[in-house]
A = this chain, B = another copy of it.
Amino acid sequence: MASLPEPITTLTGILSRLPGIGPRSAERLALHLVQSDVSEVKQLAQILVEARERIQTCPICGSLTEQTPCSICSDERRDGGLICLVERPTDIISIEKSGTFHGRYHVLGGKISPLNGVGPEDLRISELESRLSQEPIKEIVVALGTDVEGDATSNYLAKKLARPGLRISRIAHGLPAGSGLEFADELTLTHALAGRREME
């Protein structure tokens, strides 16, 4: 026995393909799992398949949901004229937790990133364009990250989506809440100064 039995190496192999799981932690997980109770492992496998089967992508906004369309897209009290454009489904939760946005969402599914082989055609841009022609959308709030790719994608979309009567805005860049000037980098301060607003 100069190596682990085949079922363990096979399991290690498939686990190490998951995000954030390296070869060492995959082996550790595999060894833990083959020594767990059979019933526990079966329960994990069942919950795994069940979760995958119950979760769908909302055909309208692209969020992860059990019902289609999702609860936000089917909520009549939501402002259908206002769309917040986010990168990932989890970004919706972050914004919902703030409790201040009452429009609907659109998940882009990533950012334009030539280095990683992600082009505009890999994102849910055409889906957004068909929404623009079907829904009474008045404003798109671009809420992508503030890194280089987020900036490039936001600028690309601002041009691509521009049409008469549609406002395209981007969430503000500046000092985060509870922080001081001494913790802010130069780019954040540049954005914060450029985006200054008159005090009322």
Q: Is the CB of A34 within 8 A of B55?
A: yes
Q: Which of A26-64 contact B (CB under 8 A)?
A: 27-36, 38, 41-55, 57, 63-64
The distance from the CB of A6 to the nearest CB of chain B, in whole angstroms, is 7
Given contacts A1-B71, A38-B53, contact A66 B18 (CB under 8 A): no
- Report the Cα distance A70→B1, complex, angstroms: 9
CB distance from A29 to the nearest CB of B (A): 6
Is A180 among interface residues, defined by CB-CB distance under 8 A? no
Q: Does residue A181 face the partner (Cβ distance < 8 Å to B)?
A: no
Number of copies: 2
Additional A-B contact list (8), CB under 8 Å, known A1-B92, A19-B29? A5-B55, A8-B51, A18-B29, A27-B90, A33-B52, A34-B51, A42-B49, A44-B48
Contacts of A42 in B (CB 8 A): 49, 52
CA distance in complex: A53, B35 (Å): 10
CB distance from A77 to the nearest CB of B (A): 14
A33 to B46, CA, bound (A): 13
CB pair A1–B45 under 8 Å, yes or no, is no
Question: Is there an interface contact between B14 and A20, defined as CB atoms closer than 8 Å?
Answer: no
Chain A positions 80 through 107: 1 when the CB is less than 8 Å from some CB of chain B, otherwise 0: 0000000001101100110000000000
Rounded to whole angstroms, the CA-CA distance of A64 and B1 in the bound complex is 10
- Name 29 A/B residue pairs within 8 A (Cβ), A-sorted: A1-B65, A1-B71, A1-B72, A1-B92, A3-B93, A4-B64, A4-B90, A5-B64, A5-B65, A6-B66, A7-B47, A7-B50, A7-B55, A11-B48, A11-B51, A19-B29, A19-B32, A31-B64, A34-B51, A34-B55, A34-B64, A36-B52, A41-B49, A41-B52, A42-B52, A44-B48, A45-B45, A45-B48, A45-B49
A54, closest chain B residue (CB): B7
